[in-house]
């Protein structure tokens, strides 16, 4: 075998090895980290529906920096030793959903807290109580099926106890169940 032919074979083998090694290295790359559009420090996200609730949290937050995203103010900083990002959602599930998604897209949120109220859900709860639900429910979500009957997740219409909810009964007497 001529030296020229041997050099070609060796070059071809080296080229194949180089291409194979590149493919293996590309496959071994870890998945890309979560992309943050605004700031990527790991933070606890806190969403609040009412300004007075958010104001209390923001008053205690140090090293604050504000970001305006789609007209909403996201404030990063430290709250009692925790890196946080606080945002006011306003009232309604739709607002909370959209702004929480912005929060998740733009910041590296490792935990999400809702600072808010759930008036009338449980009369035994007082202002300032911390509630951690076992289950979440969306009682406003119903199926449109051409009649006025609302499907009940617990079997009996109006019964939501299987979801962990206790709703007040309406009376014409103010401040009573």
From CA 7, how far away is CA 47, in angstroms rounded? 67
Could you tell me the pTM of the whole model? Answer: 0.56
Q: pLDDT tens digit string along 34-91?
A: 677 888 899 999 999 888 889 999 999 999 999 999 999 999 999 999 999 999 998 8
- Cite the beta strand spans of the chain per DSSP E: 39-48, 62-69, 72-79, 82-88, 107-115
Give the CATH fold of the 39-115 domain. Answer: Rossmann fold (3.40.50)
Residue at token pair 């604050």:
64
Residue range(s) occupied by CATH 3.40.50.140 in the chain: 39-115
């Amino acid at each position: 075998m001529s030296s020229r032919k041997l050099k070609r074979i060796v070059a071809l083998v080296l080229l194949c090895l180089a291409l194979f090694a590149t493919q293996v290295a590309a496959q071994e790359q870890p998945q890309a980290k979560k992309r943050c559009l605004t700031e990527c420090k790991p933070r606890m996200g806190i969403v609040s529906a009412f300004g007075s609730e958010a104001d209390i949290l923001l008053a205690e937050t140090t090293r604050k920096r504000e970001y305006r995203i789609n007209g909403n103010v996201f404030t990063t900083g430290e709250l009692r030793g925790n890196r946080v990002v606080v945002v006011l959602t306003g009232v309604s599930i739709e607002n909370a959903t959209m702004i929480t998604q912005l929060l998740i897209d733009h910041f590296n949120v490792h935990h999400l807290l809702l600072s808010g109220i759930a008036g009338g859900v449980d009369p035994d709860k007082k202002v300032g109580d911390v509630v951690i639900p076992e289950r979440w429910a969306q009682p406003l979500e119903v199926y449109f099926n051409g009649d006025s009957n609302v499907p009940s997740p617990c079997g009996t219409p109006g019964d939501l106890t299987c979801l962990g909810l206790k709703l007040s009964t309406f009376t014409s007497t103010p401040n009573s169940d």
